[in-house]
Structure 1
C-alpha cells in the first residue's frame, strides 16, 4: 500500500468555490472557534446523494454542505474524533485529464499541460449542461463573478499591487495561460459542437477552477468532488491523502469536531501572494507571508566585475543567478523575523552573504572571502565578516534597501484611499490586506537589521 500526501498544483511563485474570506486562520488558531453561523446550502443539498447514487459509494457520513460567513463550507453532522476518516473519494469519482474523449486527447501534444487538459474537461461538461453526467458537480463550481484571483483583475486593479512581486507574477501567469490557450485552440475549432464560443476569458475561468481546486497525486491532476468544498486553515494539519493501492483519496481529521463545527483543511503553506493568485483570498497575519527583496550592485562600483565573478564561482542553490543582479527574476524571499533581538530567522543567509560581498571595498577583501569559502563548505560569506565595521556596513546596505521598500509600501497603501469608487471594493480590500501583510514582514526585517547593527557597534566600542 502506498499512501502519500497529495499536494496542490505547484508552480514557482515569487520564489497552490474558494472565494475571498472563505477561510478561518490566524497565527493563533485557538482564538478562532470552529462553530460559525451555518445555513443550509440548498444548491448542494443533494450533492452527496447524487454521488452515492451515481457511483454506488458513500463519500462521507459525518459531513454536510452548508453556508457560513466564509461561503460554502463543510460542517460536521456527527461527532468527529481526531484520527477519524471524514471523507473518502474513489479515483473513479474524480475528474482528470484522462476523462477527455480519445478523439480530443489524440489532438493534444506533449506541450499541453495537464491543467489545460483538465480545463478542457470542465469546458466540455459546461457545454453539455444538464445532459452531462457531471452536471451536479459542474454546476456547483464557482461562477466567474465569484472568483478573485489576480489573473481576473483589470489593469487598473493590478496597479493597486504593483509594488508587490505578485504583480509581475500575475502578468507572467496570464501570459502562460494565453500560451496554453493557443496550444489547445485547434481542438476548440475541431469540435465546435462542444467548444463553440469558448474564448480566452472562458478558458481562463476553467483554468483557474483547476488551479484553485485540483490536487496532484500519483494519478495526476484531478478534481475531487465534495473534497473541494473544504475551506482553508493554515494552522490545520489536515490534508488530502491519496492511497494508490485502494485507488481512493481521503481526509483524516487532525482534531475533534462537534456537530455544527466547520471542518477545515490546509491547502498548503502558502503566502498571501500565492493564495491571492491561485485562490482569490488572503488571510490576516499569515505566518507564511513573505516578500521578495532585491539588492543590486552599485552602478559605478569599480569592483563590479570581480564581485560578479566571485559570486559566479561560488554560487550555491541559494545564490543561483545572483550574478545577474539587475534581473527581475533575482530576489530573496524574506519572511517575518519574530524578534528584533533574535537570530534573524526569516532573513535568508544567502541574502546576508550577498550583502557582505557587495560591501567589500578592495580586491583583498574579496580574496579573503574566496579563501574562507574554499576552506569551509564552499559557500560564500555565510559567516559574519571578521571586520566588524564591514559587517555593519553590509547589513546597513540591507537595512537601506528594506527601508526604501517600506517607504514605497507606505505610499502604495496611502494611495489606495484615493482610488475611484468605481473600483471593486472587495478587490481593493484584498490589495490592502496583501500589502499590509508584506509591509509587516518588511517592518520586522528592518527592526532586526537595525538592532543587529546597533549591537555590533556597541560591542566594538567596548
Structure 2
C-alpha cells in the first residue's frame, strides 16, 4: 500500500503539461475535516447519475457511503451513511483513472476557478507584497510558451481543436495540474476521488493499492451522514494552495515566506562575495518543475519559539547575511577557511567578531521588519467592505489575499521576534 498526492508540490512553477509523467513520485496524503470552519453542505442533484455511470464504467462498486454534494468550497464528497475509522470509503480501479465526458463536464468551469493565474491585474495587485505575485506572472508566461509550442499541432486536428484560445488552454492546464494525482505509476485523474476537498490538519491514510490496482480512501474518524469528507493534498502553504489550487485556509500551519536578499552591486567586495557563495554554498538547483532557485532566495517558516528553542531562522539565510556584512577580504578568507575545515558549508557558525555577528542579524531584522510593515499596510487595505456593489468573485479573492498575507505576516513576525531575542542575548553576552 502506497500513498498518493495531488500534483502540486512545494515548488510552485510547473513543467509543460506534456511532461507531467516524468515527475518524481509519492508524498503522503491525509484525511480529515475542517475543525475551525462550519461548512453548509447539500446534495448535488446534477451529479446524481455520475456515480452509477462511473460504477458501470468500472464494472465494480466504488462507494456505498459517499455522495457528491455542494459546499462553500464547490463540489465535494459527503457521507451518505455513518462511517467509522478504518472503513474504506471509496475504491477506484486504475482502469478508470482517466477519461470521459460525464467526468469532464463536472469539472470547474473557467469562471469558477480562483488560481491566481486567472486573476486580473487589479486582483493581483492585492498580493503584490507576496512572492506569489511574481510566481503568478512567471507561471502565466510559461503556460503561454507551452500554448504557442503546441498550437501548430491544433491545425492538423480541426475537428477537435478548432477555435482553441489561450484562455481555453490555460483552463485545461489548470484543471489537470490541480486535479491530477501522482503515484509510483505516474500521473492520472481519479474520477469521484477528484471531488474530495482539502484540509491541512489531518491524519495519514493510504490511498493507493498497487497490488489490487485501485485507489482507495480509508477513514480516520467517524462521519455522520451529511458530513463533508476532506483529505490533505500535501503540506502546502497558502501560497501554494492559492497559486496551484485556487483557495486558501484561514489559518495554515504550513505557511511560509520566500524572501530575496541581494548583495549590492556597489559593494566593493561584491565579486568576491558572490564567488565565495558560489564555491561554498549550495549551488542553484533546478527544481522538479524546471525552474532554477537562486542562491539569494530563502524560505522562512514560522519560528515556534523566539527564545531559541526549536527551529529558528534558516542557517543558509544567516550564513548569507554573515557574508554580506563582511567588510574585508581577510574576513572572507577566514570564512572560506572555516568552511574547508568543517563540512564545507559556509558561515554556519557565529562569527568570532561579535560586532560583525550582530550587524549580520540586525541586517536581517531590518529586512524582515520592512516586510512586516509592508504586509501590515497591504492587509489594512484589504479590510472587508460592506459595499453591496462588490462582485462576489472579487470579494472571495479579496478574502484569499487576506488569508495569504496574514499567514505570511505571522511567519515574518515570528522571525522578527527570534532575531530580536538573538541580538539582545548576544549583546548581553
TM range (shorter): 0.7 to 0.9
Q: How many residues align?
A: 402
Query: Are 2:250 and 1:295 equivalent residues in the alignment?
Result: no
What's the secondary structure of 2:228's corresponding residue? coil
Residue among 11, 14, 18 paired with 1:13: 11
1:398 Cα offset (Å): 0.4
Change (3 A) 1:11 1:184: farther
Query: Are 2:210 and 1:244 equivalent residues in the alignment?
Result: yes
What's the secondary structure of 1:250's corresponding residue? strand
Check conservation: 2:259, 2:299, Cα contact below 8 A: yes
Residue among 409, 420, 424 paired with 1:450: 420
Equivalent residue for 1:316?
282
Change (3 A) 1:346 1:242: farther
Summarize deviations over 1:284-325 as a string: whole Å, max 9, x none: 2211111112222234322222222221221225x769xxxx
**Structure 2 matches for 1:282-431, cutoff 5 A?**
282-316=248-282, 330-343=296-309, 345=311, 347-416=313-382, 424-431=394-401
What's the secondary structure of 1:390's corresponding residue? helix
Check conservation: 1:349, 1:382, Cα contact below 8 A: yes
Equivalent residue for 1:124?
none
Equivalent residue for 2:196?
230
Query: Are 2:92 and 1:71 equivalent residues in the alignment?
Result: no
1:175 Cα offset (Å): 1.2
Q: How many Å separate the matches in 1 of 2:40 and 2:102?
A: 25
Which piece of structure 1 moves more, 414-423 or 332-341?
A: 414-423
Change (3 A) 1:137 1:148: same
Query: Are 2:54 and 1:51 equivalent residues in the alignment?
Result: yes
Q: How many Å separate the matches in 2 of 1:79 and 1:276?
A: 32
Equivalent residue for 2:2?
4
What's the secondary structure of 2:336's corresponding residue? helix
Unaligned runs of 5+ in 1: 17-27, 100-133, 322-326
What's the secondary structure of 2:155's corresponding residue? helix
Change (3 A) 1:43 1:346: farther
Q: How many Å separate the matches in 2 of 1:397 and 1:14?
A: 28
Check conservation: 2:57, 2:96, Cα contact below 8 A: no
Which piece of structure 1 moves more, 265-274 or 65-74?
A: 65-74
Change (3 A) 1:298 1:11: same
Change (3 A) 1:153 1:387: same
1:233 Cα offset (Å): 0.8
Q: How many Å separate the matches in 2 of 1:296 and 1:36?
A: 44
| Aligned-residue CA RMSD (Å) | 2.7
Equivalent residue for 1:60?
63
What's the secondary structure of 2:70's corresponding residue? strand
Query: Are 2:95 and 1:92 equivalent residues in the alignment?
Result: yes
Change (3 A) 1:32 1:437: closer
1:225 Cα offset (Å): 0.6
Summarize deviations over 1:100-137 as a string: whole Å, max 9, x none: xxxxxxxxxxxxxxxxxxxxxxxxxxxxxxxxxx3321
Q: How many Å separate the matches in 1 of 2:384 and 2:8?
A: 36
Q: How many Å separate the matches in 2 of 1:441 and 1:14?
A: 19
Equivalent residue for 1:257?
223
Equivalent residue for 1:217?
183
1:272 Cα offset (Å): 0.6
TM-score by length of structure 1 reads: 0.80
Query: Are 2:136 and 1:170 equivalent residues in the alignment?
Result: yes
1:240 Cα offset (Å): 6.3
Change (3 A) 1:290 1:406: same
Check conservation: 1:148, 1:276, Cα contact below 8 A: yes
Q: How many Å separate the matches in 1 of 2:353 and 2:272?
A: 20
Check conservation: 2:257, 2:408, Cα contact below 8 A: yes
Q: How many Å separate the matches in 2 of 1:197 and 1:339?
A: 56
Q: How many Å separate the matches in 2 of 1:186 and 1:345?
A: 51
Summarize deviations over 1:131-161 as a string: whole Å, max 9, x none: xxx3321221111111111111112221221
Check conservation: 1:14, 1:165, Cα contact below 8 A: no
Equivalent residue for 1:125?
none
